[in-house]
Amino acid sequence: QRKNVILGIESSCDESAAAIYDSERGLLAHALHSQVALHADYGGVVPELASRDHIRKLMPLIEQVSAEAGAPQLTGIAYTRGPGLVGALLVGASVAAGLGMSRGLPVLGVHHMEGHLLSPLLEKRAPAFPFVALLVSGGHTLLVQVEGVGRYRMLGESLDDAVGEAFDKCAKMLALGYPGGPALAALAQAGRRDAYDFPRPMLKRPGLDFSFSGLKTAVMLAVKGAPDTRQAHADIAASFEQAVVDTLVAKCARALKQTGLGRLVVAGGVGANRHLRAALTQCGARDGFELYFPQSQFCTDNAAMIALVGSLRADEMRTGIAPADAVARWPL
């Protein structure tokens, strides 16, 4: 593959981001604007507000990364085509199409989850193929066997809520605001992890699928029955986090055993959870598998992972007039 320098654009949800990835030198620059403050009052992402903010922020972010990278000669543009909020996605798609046309650069629409899946390759200590990936974000909970770029075999997924979604909903029950995942994890530090015996969903059943709605209901009942004190809430948070971590660790161990692979990659927003990282590290030491995490800033949504996928798939980029193409739903 020829040397390439790719501009990556991410706008699938509530993060506007741009990055430049060089196939020989690695990540040259990345920048991000979070819309968390914009949506906080509404307790969740408001799609129309998200789209409008992407319009305001994307071009300045692109100019910023270009300046920081030393205004390199780009060879292509990669943007998140889906899945996500279609209005938000269309902003990134339009910017990519417009820049591609005006600068004569080829463009590629990238799968957001493939970005998360391959994000550990941004690190100096990158995993070799094949590996098992645990993808845990606000929208997805997947176990995937990754044989190479574009060669993915689904091992298991959540039958209902995604893990991040469960974190966010439980955080909401504890009045921790939005998005509550990190706040719940912080509160859990002050709690007793064995205070509640919450269900470890699907652990007794064979297979690699997940389910978190039963756990969510158990937490709801616990919140209703508990005193309205910080310690009681911390106990619930800690016990919930423990139930999630136990479930994820057990399924990862099972996936590695089933595939016979020795490398586990953890990606997606919930991959930033410290308790999960510690538990997986312990399990890895016990079972003898190698663990790979992206840095926390590349676990959550970012454009570095999109530029990286663009670089790895540069051969598929198209020149000419690119339509602004976005899709809300898109299987991996």
Annotated binding site for substrate: 135-139, 168, 181, 273
Whichever of 74 and 91 has its CB closer to ligand KG4, that residue is 91
Binding site for ligand KG4 (CB under 6 A): 13, 137-139, 164, 167-168, 179, 181-182, 185, 268-270, 272-273, 300-301
CB of 13 to ligand KG4, least distance (A): 6
Gap between the Cα atoms of 211 and 202, Å rounded: 7
Gap between the Cα atoms of 120 and 118, Å rounded: 6
Residue 8 interacts with, from Zn ion, ligand KG4, none (CB under 5-8 Å by kind): none
Residue 120 interacts with, from Zn ion, ligand KG4, none (CB under 5-8 Å by kind): none
Residue 292 interacts with, from ligand KG4, Zn ion, none (CB under 5-8 Å by kind): none
CB of 268 to ligand KG4, least distance (A): 4
Structure tokens at 153: 């075999």
Q: Are the C-beta atoms of residues 252 and 212 closer than 8 Å to each other? A: no
Which DSSP symbol is given to 318? Answer: B
Residue 273 interacts with, from Zn ion, ligand KG4, none (CB under 5-8 Å by kind): ligand KG4
Q: Are the C-beta atoms of residues 307 and 273 closer than 8 Å to each other? A: no
Instruction: Point out the annotated binding site for Fe cation.
Output: 112, 116, 301
CB of 264 to Zn ion, least distance (A): 19
CB of 7 to ligand KG4, least distance (A): 21
Gap between the Cα atoms of 236 and 238, Å rounded: 5
Binding site for Zn ion (CB under 5 A): 137, 301
Convert 302-316 to b/e letters by CB count within 10 Å (16 or more is b): bbbbbbbbbbbbbee
CB of 116 to Zn ion, least distance (A): 6
Contacts of 117 (CB under 8 A, 6+ apart): 133, 135, 144, 146, 152, 265, 267, 332
Instruction: Point out the annotated binding site.
Output: 112, 116, 135-139, 168, 181, 273, 301
